[in-house]
Structure 1
């Protein structure tokens, strides 16, 4: 599975405030051991950077990820849901280091993020422009995987 766990400049409406992420916000934390989870649940680990099953990079668009899904019940469930187009998107868990945020009224801009995990979100991700696509396991499956690839954009059903 691959895509974007966060995109720069996209607005997330979080209760009574709006949040955006600035380019470069993830850069300092990408050397740590970061987990890939289902719905932020530490009991549902899909991969991690330390083992090489999760790869993260920050580019001009946002936080790109590539994840080798495990042959576990959680991994198989995510593959099945993504193939059907039922996954809501991606999210991430983080802390904010000193000086990492700037507030202007009810708007928060994240300049630095201490990233802890990225999550496949089954229902409603906070950020609207995350993307997920299934990758082929072998060269023979490449055309089929492209047909199954799903770009997800959150559509806030309650807005």
Structure 2
């Protein structure tokens, strides 16, 4: 099984959500936004690509895609996911009693971390290849994927992604 992760910058807000709880928000991907050049190609996520996965799958929020640093989980109710008109929006209930969560909130507030990413698998028949508008670079368009995680990250593949604390 091949797991692919894409990251990009996004705005994340931080809000108080009860005792020792704040929110980490962001966009893991924005529709039709191009990735950085990755191994000789660029890619984009098309509208609705993750909608079925959001309804069906057990998805985690991780810090920098590291399974040792779980921030939330949709099946636990600590991660909310939705594709809106912009892309894949997420909201994590950040419990500051967890040391790495507290550290992440500080990094988000300082602007040290401002982007997001997502781990995924492309579903069968879920991609199309064409040439980028430059006429040379291959362009991968993904229309169906299984989301494994969303992550505030240091180094994004998608510069349009966002993450912040509110």
Would the TM-score normalized by the shorter structure come out above 0.5?
Answer: yes
Contact (CA 8 Å) 1:33, 1:50: kept in 2 or not? yes
In the alignment, what sits opposite 1:130? 161
Structure 2 residue runs of 5 or longer lacking an equivalent are 1-23, 132-137
Rounded Cα–Cα distance in structure 2 between residues aligned with 1:132 and 1:126: 14
Moved over 6 A (4+): none
Q: 1:35 aligned to 2:60? A: yes
* Equivalent of residue 19 in structure 1, options 43, 63, 85: 43
Aligned: 1:114 with 2:128? no
Q: Say yes or no: does 1:59 pair with 2:84.
A: yes
Partners of 1:75 and 1:113 in 2: how far apart?
Answer: 28
Unaligned runs of 5+ in 1: 136-159
Q: Which has the higher contact order (CA 8 A, sep 6+)?
A: 2
Number of residue pairs the alignment of both structures matches: 134
**CA distance in structure 2 between the partners assigned to 1:18 and 1:89 by the alignment:** 18
Structure 1 residue 133: Cα displacement: 2.7
Give the TM-score normalised by the residue count of structure 2.
0.78
